[in-house]
Amino acid sequence: MQLAKSAMLVSVTIINGGLLGERRDSKASELVENSFNVQHRRTKASKYLIDRKHKSVKRVIAASQRVREVTYRFTLPWGDDKLRLLPVKTAGEFRYAITNATTELEDARSEYIHNYPALVAQSEQDLAELFDATQYPGKDEIGALFKTKINYWPMPESGHFMADISEGAAKEAKQAIEAEIEERLIEATYDMVRRAKDVVTSFLDKLESTDTEPKTNDWGGVTGHKIQGVLRDSLIDNITDTANLIEKMNLTESSQIKKVVKDLRRLSGYSADIWRRYPMRYQIDRPGAITAAQEILTNLQMLDMRDQEIETMVADGGEYM
């Protein structure tokens, strides 16, 4: 498998400078220093220029988080936080989801910009003597302080790096790049295991805290059983979705990751809908489901990802570096 044909690089940048945020206030800082006899600049008094609890501010923050969640859901870590590895098999889903998320973010920012003059007026009242009009851009300027940028790059090939350097330097550079790619693929594999652990832990926590109890009539007679608490379809759906996603992200065709997918699908064979409708079935299934989840979680926790067979991906660095 050639990495250049199975994945690409993507970066997502979100800048919400228009929310203005926290600022140091020199007058308040000086007052604190004088009041407590503190050396100059050993303390800091700050203020929020805009009310962080306003619904339009919260909406921008929530929509920004949604963009980040989409990015992390469909991509894998690749070096620093700015670059992510996007498998070709998840690229279509990513583009669709990120388009919806960024549209939601733009709508939230538009609402905030519409409310901005009223927010500034409210800040003038709330901050009183600490209000400084020069710290607030005009309404026609605030929009330029917001930015969303999505960039895609192909995985670079070795010829781009090696063409104009000596054979010895090329060999050394190739070995260094191979080692770095191997390290990054290992980290990507760790990420897949963490995702699996999260959904299995949620499944196990829910089953361990939820049992059945008898239903009784007005005379105390047992008429059946009911489930304590609520079992939602998302309990199983999250496992199914994670299994499908990890399968598409398994760029190294790792046998251990394939087993993780198989184990997740074993859990996804249960049905929360059937359990809700037939509590006695839940009573029967629950012990086995808990045992299966515990075994899977133990295997995930013990999995030594540094034993992954990644050599086949980096054996010929010229294929994809």
pLDDT tens profile 40-87: 778 888 899 999 999 999 999 999 999 999 999 999 988 766 789 999
Q: Mark which of 155, 173, 201 sits at the end of a domain.
A: 155
Q: Tell me the two tokens of residue 185.
A: 């693929």
Tokens 């790792």 belong to residue:
254
Helix (H) or strand (E) holding 212: strand 212-216
Dump pLDDT digits (tens) for 95-134. Answer: 999 999 999 999 999 999 999 999 999 999 999 989 999 9
> Are residues 122 and 170 part of one domain?
no
Q: How far is CA 210 from CA 128, 164, 200, 229, 281, in A?
A: 52, 65, 15, 6, 14
- Name the band, by pLDDT with cuts 50, 70 and 90, for residue 218: low
| Domain end residue (candidates: 123, 155, 187) | 155
- Is residue 276 within 8 A of residue 231, CB to CB? The reply is yes
Are residues 5 and 136 part of one domain? yes
User: Rounded to a whole number, what is the largest CA-CA distance in the chain?
Assistant: 92
Kindly state whether residues 119 and 217 are assigned to the same domain. Answer: no
Q: Which of 265, 258, 259 is nearest to 242 (CA)?
A: 265
Q: Which of the two residues, 304 and 63, has the higher pLDDT score?
A: 63
Distance CA 229, CA 103 (A): 36
Pair (4, 67) in one structural domain: yes
Please tell me the predicted confidence (pLDDT) of residue 179.
66
Scored b (16 or more CB within 10 A) or e, 110-134 reads: ebbbebbeebbeebeeebeeeebee
- Among 155, 190, 213, the domain boundary falls at 155
- In Å, how far are 28, 39, 295 from 260, measured between CA atoms? 56, 58, 12
Q: Are residues 3 and 119 in the same domain?
A: yes
Residues 211 and 75 in one domain: no
Domain count within the chain: 2
Cβ-proximal residues to 136 (8 Å cutoff; 6+ apart), any chain = 20, 49, 120, 123
Is it the case that residue 308 has pLDDT exceeding 80? no
User: Could you tell me the residue range of the domain that residue 256 belongs to?
Assistant: 156-321
Residues 145 and 54 in one domain: yes
Structure tokens at 191: 């990420």
Q: Where do the H-state alpha helices sit in the chain?
A: 3-6, 26-36, 55-74, 88-127, 139-142, 158-162, 167-209, 234-249, 255-267, 272-277, 279-302, 311-314
Q: How far apart are CA 243 and CA 237, in angstroms?
A: 10
Residue located via tokens 């996804």: 268
Q: Are residues 70 and 145 in the same domain?
A: yes
Say whether pLDDT at 93 is over 70.
yes
Q: Are residue 130 and residue 182 in the same domain, yes or no?
A: no
Same domain assignment for residues 164 and 312: yes
* The pLDDT of residue 311: 37
Q: Which helix (H) or strand (E) holds 153?
A: strand 146-154
* 173 shares a domain with 42: no
- pLDDT above 80: residue 18: yes
Band of pLDDT at residue 33, cut at 50, 70 and 90: confident
Can you give the pTM of this predicted structure?
A: 0.76
Shared-domain flag, residues 12 and 79? yes
How many residues are given for the chain? 321
